[in-house]
Structure 1
Amino acid sequence: MNSYDVAVIGSGPGGYVAAIRCAQLGMKTAIIEKYATLGGTCLNVGCIPSKALLDSSHHYEDAVKHFEEHGIEIPGDVKVNLSKMIERKQAVVNQTTGGIDFLMKKNKIDVYHGLGSFKDATHILIKGEKEEEIEAKNTIIATGSKPSNLPFITLDKERIITSTEALKLKEIPKHLIVIGGGVIGLELGQVYGRLGSEVTVVEYMDRIIPTMDGGLSKELNKVFKKAKYNINVSHKVKSVERKGDEVIVKADDKKGNEVEFKGDYCLVSVGRRPYTDGLNAEAAGVKLTDRGQIEVNDHLQTSAKNIYAIGDVVKGAMLAHKAEEEGVFVAETLAGQKPHIDYNLIPGVVYTWPEVASVGKTEEELKDAGVDFKVGQFPMRALGRSRASMDLDGFVKILADKSTDEILGVHMIGARAADMIAEAVVAMEYRASAEDISRMSHAHPTFTEAIKEAALAATEDRALHI
């Protein structure tokens, strides 16, 4: 039987990063993955493939709607080759997961393929092509999450689908109904909306992207409505039925009236649930919460002292980069270091176009907490760079403490917001004031000038270009 200092169950961004950091710190490390490829949901059926399709569909939309204005003329009709698009997406996935294989070899991490389950707190059974058992002084559970469903919906994975199936459709839907106006539903809705699908979004809450700042929700809603997406908020879905190639969704609106939507595909995107199936956690003395998450303390330690858990399977935002931070945190804790994570400074991003990004507190949270704050906001359309690229939608908003000027939250929607949010994270990590950012030189012309202008607006209400 092989023995290890650390075994990691799950090879998503949290798991494989944890394994690499453990190996870097001199620990003999193994990683266990039940699927044939490493990388978990994110690399195989999540972040990476969805971004590949978002980019491909964005190119198509530009060719159809914007090339002529740029002086680019294409003879004949621009056509979508969906199978080629899906093929390119898969090539990106294969290259990325292959990179994880390389990193495991480079760091001398033993890889086991099969379902890992606890025999006890220090022994793990691996059921793959053959059954193996390993011993681990410490274990990190990084088994991630799976798409959630509503109890009355039967997912046939043909017409009533999850995000996994939406990444490999054989045809462009005529009418795609998306249940859930969160990140995944809106991103995949936009992929197919760009390719010609009619898109209807049905959201239970009173706005799309309901966990983000209300201003971002309002602006993105405006963008989608301009693109002729049918956005229905405050709608409670009560049935989803398939009849041949048609899917019928019934919901009650906020007045209690029944509304019916008919399409040829229905994407159920109502969040994700922690995945612990087959883990046999109880055999190791690992407790789960009533929400199905693994119970951990502030050190991400489970009720079994030598077992830790990270990522989507524990409390907090289900984000790949949050899982990575936790993976490094646990590895360094095991090495006797004293790492730290500030969960308030883990950014959230929606990769629609315009992109949406946020870090820190929202206006709603600050109002609920009774914090006295000021707001500085700057529209993207006032930037020379935005006009040059025709990306005029959106804004940057900075929330700062009214008395100290410390930045409490930054919320942005616009081109490249996913990249720009890092500046806000750095500033808040060092507890910068809005004035600090306003006095930094930002290259011209860039989208990031909007951050400086928003900081000026928050500091002395003196943005320069509006």
Structure 2
Amino acid sequence: MEKYDVCIIGGGPAGYAAAMRAVDFRKKVLLIEKERIGGAGIHNGALSSKTWWELSREAYALRMLCESTHLPTPQHDYQTLKSEVDKAVSTRRELLEHHMHNLNLNSQGDYFHFVRGLGKVVKDRIVSVHTVDGEDIEIEADNIILATGSRPRKLDHIPIDEETILTSDGIENLKEFPKSMVIVGAGVIGCEFATIFSNFGQTRVHIIDKGQRILPFEDEDVVQIIEKNLESKGVLVHRNSQLVEMKVENGLVVYTLEYDNGSKEVFHVEKALVSVGRVPNYENLISAQVKVDIDHRGIIDDLTQTSIPNIFAIGDITADIALVNVGELEGRYAVEKMFGNPVKPLLYENISTIMFLAPEVAGVGLNEVKARDMGISYKVVCLDYSCISRAIAMRNTTGFIKIIVSNDEEMRILGMRVIGEHASSSIEAVALLISMGKGIEELAELIHPHPSIIEGIQECVRMLLNKSMLKPGVLRQSMRCACFVDGELKNVEFN
């Protein structure tokens, strides 16, 4: 029986990152993947959907240009666009495969090993593998990492066939742009696909929202901009609605909604996309005699370590945040925990996120919704993009920068939200300060390139210090200063 220092089941972002970190420690590592290397981080997930988003942005910009110059609006061929998405996916997958297959040549040692097949933990240190060639083998490993990811959640009362009623996994099955589509679920993934299809302008998009607004976990000022932009592209948001029934009749999706007032309404569309979250892949992963604690949310872990000390769980399979960057972070941390002392503790407070909407939304740390739920007293400043020279130069002033700090003299940074162009490139300095537990002074006099969106960060900080160049008392529609104290949000001017 072959023996390894660490065996990793799952070759997605988390598992791959863990394997590469184990190579750094010169450990003998086995990576097992049943299908395609890269997991949902590349296929049917982050990379593929974001490539669709990038293409849709360009299509929308072209559409707006044609309309403003009275030129014919182009129609986009779905299969041509899909081939571009496939190329992006293949480029990344081939890079990882080339790197993986040639790793030992550069490492000057026989550290990394890869098997394509299904892995299962049968004992605390034994993993059985059913390879794609039909061979059954067992290996021994001092440490085991579970990184088998997640899949789209399905609902029992919706007949998902991945042809007419789809999950995000079935998007690649489309042959052309549907004339109409309903999206079940108004969270991030649902809103991203609503953005993508409405950007192309060839699909009438409906989105079902149980509450009063989409993205219920996000701040209202962010949601207002996203909703306004979606509706300007013809997206119909079914607010305060409950899906009573969805079925396929004569090749069309027929769905019935019941509203809060008790009324019902029936709609007909070509396709449906069910986007109601994801569930962990842990079925048939662990034998019954291996007592790893699991609940409905995933494998229970304590900073990646399960109830069995030498078995670790990382990425979407756990109950933690299901993001590619989080999975990679957890993978690296788990290996460092095994073979060395991690330089820093595993923290989730400064994780940066991007929502690929219109416009894009980037965030780190707490937003106002979360801070209020936690009962935190905070100060908040918000600067509209109309006050930022770069946004004016881009002729796109939709958006704002918002910084949230503790309501004390220290003004420790709690979180930040940016919505607008270049949002994702605007948050890293703040993310670093959050991880360091620092206040805002470091940003106050930092010289940013001009003109740039990130100059708005400096102006926000100066607002907190009551020394901004533009004065909130004058530009009340573009600058906001407020405090949340004793359950009430009050507009103020900080001294």
Q: Shorter-chain TM-score category?
A: over 0.9
Structure 2: which amino acid aligns with 1:96? R
Moved more, 268-277 or 167-176: 167-176
Deviation at 1:361, TM superposition (A): 1.6
**Could you tell me which of 126, 133, 139 is aligned with 1:134?**
139
1:175 aligns with 2:180: yes
2:103 alignment partner AA? N
CA RMSD of aligned residues (A): 2.0
Partner of 1:377: 382
Structure 1 residue 74: deviation in Å?
10
> What's the CA shift for 1:321?
0.5
2:154 to 134, 149, 153: 149
- In the other structure, the counterpart of 1:303 is 307
Do the aligned residues in 1 keep the contact of 2:293 with 2:299 (CA within 8 Å)? yes
Write the deviation string for residues 314-345 of structure 1: whole angstroms up to 9, x where unpaired: 12211110111100100101112134121111
**Deviations 1:424-466 (Å, cap 9, x if unpaired)?**
2122122332343232112111111222222222332735285
What secondary structure sits across from 2:288 in the alignment?
Answer: helix
Q: State the partner residue of 1:325.
A: 329
Instruction: Encode CA deviations 1:32-90: one digit per residue, 9 max, x unaligned.
Output: 1111x200111111000111111111111111213676xxx797652312111101101
Q: Which runs of 5+ in 2 are unaligned?
A: 105-111, 476-495
State how many pairs are aligned. 460
Contact 1:50 1:167 (C-alpha < 8 Å) held by counterparts: no
Aligned to 2:485: none
Partner SS state of residue 345, structure 1:
coil
Q: Provide the rounded CA distance (Å) in 2 between the counterparts of 1:362 and 1:23.
A: 38
Which one-letter code corresponds to 1:439 in the other structure? Answer: E
Aligned-pair CA distance for 1:174 = 0.8
Q: Distance in 2 between matches of 1:407 and 1:433?
A: 6
Q: Does 1:94 align with 2:93?
A: no
* Cα pair 1:377 1:398 within 8 Å, conserved: yes
Q: 2: CA distance between counterparts of 1:235 and 1:424?
A: 38
SS in 2 for 1:45: coil
Give the match for residue 13 of structure 2: 13
1:365-404 correspondence runs (5 A): 365-403=370-408, 404=410
Aligned partners of 2:297 and 2:319 also within 8 Å: no
- In the alignment, the residues of structure 1 paired with residue 60 and residue 20 of structure 2 have an alpha-carbon distance, to the nearest angstrom, of 39
Q: How does 1:25-424 map to 2 (within 5 A)?
A: 25-35=25-35, 37-66=36-65, 77-108=73-104, 109-127=112-130, 128-130=132-134, 131-195=136-200, 196-289=202-295, 291-297=296-302, 299-338=303-342, 339-403=344-408, 404-424=410-430
Moved more, 324-333 or 228-237: 228-237
**Mean Cα deviation higher: 268-277 or 248-257:** 248-257
CA shift in 2, pair 1:144/1:400, >3 Å: same
* Aligned 8 A contact 1:351 1:418 in 2: no
Matches of 2:70 and 2:26, distance apart in 1: 57
The code of the aligned residue for 2:423 comes to A
1:250-281 CA-to-partner distances (Å, cap 9, x unmatched) read 22222232233321110000000111122134
Give the residue type in structure 1 aligned to 2:255: V
Q: Distance in 1 between matches of 2:90 and 2:78?
A: 18
Query: Do the aligned partners of 1:385 and 1:445 also contact (CA within 8 Å) in 2?
Result: yes
What one-letter code is carried by the residue in structure 1 that aligns with 2:322? M
Shift of 1:26: 1.2
The separation in 2 between residues aligned to 1:168 and 1:390, in whole angstroms, is 37
Letter in 2 for 1:382: C
Q: Distance in 1 between matches of 2:34 and 2:158?
A: 27
Task: Give the CA deviation at 1:364.
Answer: 2.4
Q: Structure 1's 281 and 142: CA in aligned 2 closer, same or farther, altered over 3 A?
A: farther
User: For residues 167 and 452 of structure 1, what CA distance do their matches in structure 2 show?
Assistant: 43
**How many angstroms does 1:99 deviate by?**
1.4
C-alpha separation in 2, matches of 1:394 and 1:77: 27
Contact kept, 8 Å, 1:23 with 1:107, in 2: the verdict is: no
The alpha-carbon distance between structure 1 residues 463 and 149, as it changes in their structure 2 partners (threshold 3 A), is: farther
